[in-house]
Amino acid sequence: MKDKRVSTELKVGILVLAAILVLFYMSFRIGKFGAFHEPGYDLYVTLQNAGGIDPRTPIQIAGVEVGRVRNIKLEGYKALVTLNVRKGVQVPVDSKVTVKNQGILGDKFIEIIPGEAKQFLARGERINDVVMPPDLNEVFAEVGVAAKNFGETIGEFKGLIGEEEKKNIKKSLANIESASGDFKKLVSDNKKGITRFVSNMDKISSDIEKGKGTIGKLVKDDSLYNDAKDTVASLKTISKDIEQGKGTLGKLAKDDALYDEAKTAVANIKEITDGIKKGEGTLGKLAKDDSLYNETEKAMKKVQKGAEGLQEMTPVTVLGTIFSVFF
């Protein structure tokens, strides 16, 4: 009986020891090579701050786990992180690395953002492009500063508003409420008219869509478009003819002889006007010689006196003519 009890205890002890050895072995294998003995290769990345990251931190691409962090050590004043990427997962050479959280307060993980290059990183190479997210402490500090500034602004705003301003604001709100009520009443009272107006507008738009009326014809009549197109084509032909020197306008635009003649005519007119200003020639003497003006004035006075004498003599001459006819 005693020998049998010892044999059972021995068996239990051997079983427990075997279980401990198996657990130790499995822990060692899983810790070193990952959960299913999947082989992989190592890549390196340097982080400014590796806080919250430790060996066994997941590595993801597009939300799918592709490996684990193998090791973290200090390189200068930065953290050198060894990424153990699962075999068969290729990482382009222009990929990026960022550190993210599982939720707001969840554990961190490393995400690889694949690039577009056709070349891939080999074992032992480094990912140089790192996008570090803002630290939560910095975010909370900035939020605190923003909240403080907002509180100070509200305090200053409250200081600017006195009792009189509060009354005016209340009065303005009351006026707005009253105006909105009046508008609502206006709409309610004229509901039929508004409905009729909307119906008419729908009918007008329908007529336009069908090509009825002046506006409908303007919108739907293709002949107007064709006429405009022909007009533009004609203008284009005319401008082309002018550019080539055809027709009257073309000759006026392109014939250098007309320009030279116009230039000569302008020069002659200028020469004549200069001569008149200087008193040269007949027109110049008429314009500049005062004696001609004086003689002309005297002659006009003599003509005026002669006309007055002729006017006085006219009745006598008429009577004489009548008497000679009858007697």
Distance CA 227, CA 233 (A): 10
Share of the chain above pLDDT 90, in %: 17
What per-residue confidence (pLDDT) applies to 94?
92
Considering only residues 1 and 121, tell me which one the structure prediction assigns the higher pLDDT. 121
Q: Is the pTM of this model over 0.85?
A: no
- The confidence score (pLDDT) of residue 68 equals 92
pLDDT at 325 over 50: no
CA distance 15 to 28: 20
pLDDT of 1 over the 60 cut? no
Tokens of 186: 């206006």
User: What's the pLDDT score for residue 37?
Assistant: 46
**Would the pLDDT of 142 be above 70?**
yes
Per-residue pLDDT tens over the stretch 42-73 = 999 999 888 888 898 999 999 899 999 999 99
Q: Following CA atoms 102, 107, 108, 114 in sequence, which dihedral angle do they give, to the nearest 10 degrees?
A: -40
**Average pLDDT value for residue range 92-109:** 83
Q: What is the pLDDT of residues 225-252, one digit of tens each?
A: 777 778 888 888 888 878 777 777 777 7
User: What's the pLDDT band for 160 if we cut at 50, 70, 90?
Assistant: low
Assess whether pLDDT exceeds 90 at residue 85.
yes
pLDDT score, position 158: 65
* For residues 143-153, average pLDDT: 75
CB count within 10 Å of CB 164 equals 8
Average pLDDT (154-159) is 67
- Can you tell me the mean pLDDT for 259-270? 79
Q: What is the pLDDT of residue 38?
A: 56
Please check the confidence at residue 299 and state whether its pLDDT lies above 60. Answer: yes
Q: What is the mean pLDDT of residues 284-304?
A: 71
Sheet of 126-127, strand order: 126-127, 40-47, 78-86, 64-75, 58-61, 108-113, 96-101, 129-131
